[in-house]
A = this chain, B = another copy of it.
Amino acid sequence: MKSFVEYSGETDFPIENLPYGVFTSAKNVNKHIGVAIGEWILDLNIIAHLFDGPLMKDKQNVFKEENLNAFMGLTKPHWIEARETLQKLLDKSNPTIQNDKDLRERAFVKQSEAQMHVPADIGDYTDFYSSIHHATNVGIMFRGKDNALLDNWKYLPVGYHGRSSSIVISGTPITRPLGQTLPVEGAAPHFGPCRLMDFELEMAAFVGGPPTKLGERVTAQEAGDRIFGFVLMNDWSARDIQKWEYIPLGPFTAKNLGTTISPWIVTIEALRPFVTDNFPQEPEPFPYLKHDDKFNFDIKLEVDITPEKTPVATTVCRSNYRYMYWTVKQQLAQQTVTGCNLRPGDLLGSGTISGETSDSFGSMLELAWKGTKPIRLLNGEERKFIQDGDTVTLRGYCENEGVKIGFGKCEGKLLPAVPLE
C-alpha cells in the first residue's frame, strides 16, 4: 500500500494507520472529523460524499457531525468498510482526491495548523486496574510482598467509574490541586497543595456499536464488536489526596482534576497485525469473562518528563500494552455483567501499565518506589513525583518490518497550585 500523500518512514500515521480525530483550524472554526496521514489531516466532513460503499453510502452524515459518536454508534462492518474506502481514496493509484486540485486543497489540513479536540462526547468513563505488575507493585508498597494482590484481583478486572467532564485533550495544562491529606498517621488532616502529584501511563478504549439496554450484558466473547479503538491516556493522580479520601468508596477528587487523552483514535483494524498472546490467566476466569481469540496488542509505550527551566526530555518509563493481565474485552464484560448499559463514545481506561522491570513501571509512585529511589533526569535534577512546570509526555507505537502504527502523543504540563482565595 502506498499513498499519494508523502510522509517519512518515521511517521506515526502511514496509510496503514488512519486514526480518527476531531479538529478545528483557523479556516474552520467548526469541529470536523478527520483522519491523520503523515503530517496531514484528511477532512472527512469535506469528503463524506465519497463513502459510497454499500453500508456507508446511507450513513455519510456521520462524518458531518462534530464528534465521532454517530460513527462509533454504527457497527464493525461499517468501520471496516469506511477504512477500506479511505485506503482506496488515499492510494497512489486513485485519482479521485489526488487529481481534483480544488477538492484536494479543501480536504487536507496540516496537523501543525489544526487544534485537536476530545473526539467524542464521553457519556461515561471507567478506569480499570488490570496490569498485574502495577497491582503487585502497589500491593508490595502498601501491604507487603505476601499480600500484594488482593483476593478479588485475579477473579475479576477491578475498576471504578471516573469523571467524564474532566477528560481533556493532549496539550491542556493541568493545575496542581489543593486537597486534604494526612501527613501524620493518627493526627488531624492537612489542607493544602498536593505534594505527591503523579502520572499514570494508560491506554483507553472507545466503546462503539449501538447503545445497549439497561439489564443487557455484553460477554467477553461478544465484546470484540464493541471496541472501536484506542488512545493514550494519562490519569493524573494526587497520591496523598487519594490515600486519605479513598476508603471505603474509592478514588474521587484525587483523579477528577484532569485526565489527558491523545487526540487520534487508532482503530482495532489498524492494530490487528500487532495482536499478541493474551496474558496467561490462572485461575481460569468465569465463562462471562472468557473469549477464545487473542485480544492483546504489542504496543510500545514511553513516558518522558521535561522540566520547564532546562527543557531536556528524559524518558523515565518504557512499557508495553501487552503487560495487561485482563483484556479490554474482559473489562467490558465485567463492566456490563450486572446489566450496565453502554453508549457509543464511552471510554475504558486500562489502568496503569507497568512491565516487569523497574524502568517499565507506569507511574512515579512505582518508578521512584514511594519516593525511596528518586529518578535522575538528564538535566541533573531528581524526581520523586511530578514538579510544577514539568511536562509529561506519553507516546505509543507498534512496529514490525517497515510498518509503524503510532498514537502520536499525550502531553500535559503541570501548573502550580492556585491558592484558595
Q: Contact residues of A with B, CB < 8 Å?
A: 123-124, 129, 150-152, 155-156, 158-166, 168, 172, 174-175, 177-180, 182, 188-189, 191, 194, 214-215, 217, 219, 238, 241, 244-254, 256-258, 283, 286-288, 334-335, 337-343, 346, 415, 418, 420
Contact = CB atoms under 8 A, between A and B. Distances in A.
A216 to B, nearest CB: 9
Nearest to A250: B250
A342 B286 CA distance: 39
Contacts of A124: 163-165
A160 B163 contact: no
Chain A contact residues: over half helix, strand or loop, or mixed? loop
A141 B390 CA distance: 46
Contacts of A253: 334-335, 337-338, 340
Contact of A150 (B189, B247, B335): B247
A384 to B, nearest CB: 20
A343 B165 contact: yes
Given A241-B338, A256-B338, 15 more contacts: A124-B164, A150-B248, A152-B180, A156-B245, A158-B245, A158-B248, A160-B161, A164-B164, A165-B341, A178-B217, A191-B288, A252-B335, A253-B338, A253-B340, A256-B339
A259 to B, nearest CB: 10
Contacts of A165: 123-124, 214, 340-343, 346
Contact of A250 (B151, B246, B286, B346): B246
Nearest to A222: B421
Contacts of A283: 188
A370 to B, nearest CB: 16
Residue with the highest number of chain B CB atoms closer than 10 Å, among A163, A338, A342, A418 = A338
Contacts of A288: 178, 191, 420
Contact of A160 (B182, B194, B252): B252
A283 B415 CA distance: 32
Contact of A339 (B152, B189, B247, B257): B257
A305 to B, nearest CB: 21
A337 B150 contact: no
Nearest to A212: B165
A215 B418 contact: yes
Given A252-B161, A256-B161, A420-B287, A244 B152 contact: yes
